[in-house]
A = this chain, B = another copy of it.
């Protein structure tokens, strides 16, 4: 299985289909079954003290897996998240972008599973770990 879409094509698709998140996320690297995504942190992501909010961290994990799947299967139909688990391990650095490193552990006919490690840009210790399961739409849909 190779990539069906380039990083630019994935970004264009996201911009078109999810205009609400346009500009929030940038693909830093993309290869087969792996993607690195940046959350461009702005005021709306922050909690008091400049900490990135839990829902913003969740959104980054979620979109990373979505983009990784999209790049592998192409823009057919819309995969939907069916379950997720996330561990919040450290306070993110204040007012700093987050970097998500995502790996697809499974890309089946019906379900895909992605694993995500999230760090504050410029630091090593992980802020959060997440895994997400997506339901894949049948081929031909969308």
Contacts and interface: CB of A to CB of B under 8 A. Distances in A.
A29 interface: no
A89 interface: yes
A43 to B, nearest CB: 8
A80 B108 CA distance: 15
Interface residues of A, number: 38
Interface stretch (A67-75, A93-101, A125-133): A125-133
Contact of A85 (B54, B110, B131): B131
A139 interface: no
Nearest to A45: B20
Given A87-B131, A131-B131, A82 B111 contact: yes
Interface of A: 17-18, 20, 44, 46-48, 53-56, 58-59, 62, 80-91, 105-106, 110-111, 113, 115, 117, 126, 129, 131, 133, 135
